[in-house]
Amino acid sequence: SPTIIWFRRDLRLSDQAAVAAAVAKGPVIPVYILDDETPRHRKMGAASRWWLHHSLEQLDACLRILGSRLILGQGRVEQVLAEIVKSTGATEIHALHHHEPWWRNAEKALRDAVEGEAELILHHGNYLLPPGTLKTGSGGEYKIYTPFWKSLRERMPPEAPSLGPSQLEAPAEWPDTADLGDWNLLPKKPDWAAGLVKAWSPGEAGAQAALEEFVDKAPGYDSGRNLPSEERVSRLSPHLHFGEISPARIWHAVSAEGENVETYCKELVWRDYAQNVICQFPQYGGESYREKMRALPWRDMSDLQVQNDFAAWTMGKTGYPIVDAGMRELWVTGWMHNRVRMIAASFLVKHLLIDWREGEQWFWDTLVDADYASNSVNWQWVSGTGVDSNMFVRIMAPLSQSEKFDAGNYIRKWVPELADLDDPYVHDPEEHGCKPASYPSKIIAHKAGRERALAAYQKVK
């Protein structure tokens, strides 16, 4: 009987333990199911859906070269997979582990739905170490990043990445499949995805190409990673999120570049750390971890002024060039430089005193790398509400951040109204008296925003 390979955020064939295990058994049926019901309000956002469409297309093309194909189903995973089990007589379903809380429920439902007919077998491989593996000296879970990193580093390098199969045996009969085009994952009108098309090549080959392009920059990552005007980071995050490349492959490729790559490896480990956090606190995306911070008096989103401020932030019209450049880069490309993510997020939460969950949701919809764990862990880090986080009272000054990290060219690229302004004027045209009429005034003065945030914090301190 054939074996099912159930793909989720692991859309690759090489160094993919579920693929390797299934292929070793004989004929395989590769399956992807679009399930918007199981994650409920956490169903994929628009930018992720765009990525998914192209990544599935690529996966299917790779499978076809090897004599197979991708079967598509839509609906609750346990129902769709149970039907495929019935119609094909498959007795095993192989998949990689995923740790978002909704998958745990779905896996249980699936086991119930196929009981007596097929077995669900889960493998590791989307993280450097299976989340939950590392334990503190007293046997507990790590909550803080630095000891987590130190402990993980002891266990590195990960196993060398394996090659993908050279051929896949087809089953005697293929089950029915849906048509990717019918899923409407791509935008219709207006077509906001032109910038995404230019910026990205989803799929395993695109991921490998991005790694190759980055790898010799890895030793310079430490000095360049905070400079948004330069191309010094790997841009691997959406490929990693969709599992088009394994972190073990990245670790090995980067390590081959010599000794000055620890900063990069350390950053990669934030991804493992974030998973580790949501395994312990599955609701991390939905509420502040620190109890006292849950009472922080955020501004009321039903107030029109607050709605306008939030809209200005999303559209990149706050009057703070570094924030606006970041928010426009996000809108056009589905990605934003990490330093600018921190500045833009901090501006929303502190200067505008808007609940971090509003920003997290906006990122969820617009990022091509939107990831339940990484997004919520980073938002809570910036907001000072998380298990290991920056302090709320440490308020980033967007204008000095912009100067410090030399964001002039980045701003001129993403905010065309300011394209003719030189440094230092471009960082704060209003202050220098050279703000073009087409560019908005600051929606709140830095000092006023800061004081309001500190006053709100006093109420929960």
Name the site residues for ligand FAD (rule: CB under 6 A): 225, 233-237, 240-241, 267-268, 270-271, 274, 338, 341-342, 345, 363, 367, 369-371, 374-375, 378-379, 382
Q: Which residues are annotated as a binding site for FAD?
A: 221, 264, 369-371
- Is the sign of the CA dihedral 182, 188, 193, 197 positive or negative? positive
Burial class (CB in 10 A: 0-12, 13-18, 19+), 380: buried
Of 271 and 427, the one with the shorter C-beta distance to ligand FAD is: 271
Q: Beta-carbon neighbour count of residue 144 at 10 Å?
A: 12
Minimum CB distance to ligand FAD, residue 18 (Å) = 21
Residue 364: CB minimum distance to ligand FAD, A:
7
- Name the residue nearer to ligand FAD (CB basis): 55 or 375: 375
Length of the chain: 461
Q: Summarize the annotated binding site as residue ranges.
A: 221, 264, 369-371
CB 146 within 8 A of CB 381: no
Looking at the Cβ atoms of 60 and 369, the one nearer to ligand FAD is 369
CA distance 124 to 108: 18
Between 71 and 370, CB nearer to ligand FAD: 370
Which residue lies nearer to ligand FAD by CB, 178 or 205?
205
CB of 301 to ligand FAD, least distance (A): 19
Residue 79: CB atoms within 10 Å: 16
Which neighbouring-strand residues pair with 95? Answer: 122
CA 423 to CA 404: how far, in whole Å?
12
Cis geometry, peptide bond prior to residue 398 (ω within 30 degrees of 0): no
- Which CB, 64 or 155, lies closer to ligand FAD? 155
Closest approach of ligand FAD to the CB of residue 339, in Å: 8
- Pairing status of strand 71-74 against strand 92-96: unpaired
User: Looking at beta carbons only, is 262 or 417 nearer to ligand FAD?
Assistant: 262
DSSP string, 57-105: HHHHHHHHHTT---EEEES-HHHHHHHHHHHH---EEEEE---SHHHHH
b/e burial code for range 25-46 (CB count within 10 A of at least 16 → b): eebbbbbbbbbeebbeebebbb
Angle between helices 356-366 and 304-315 (to 10 degrees): 40
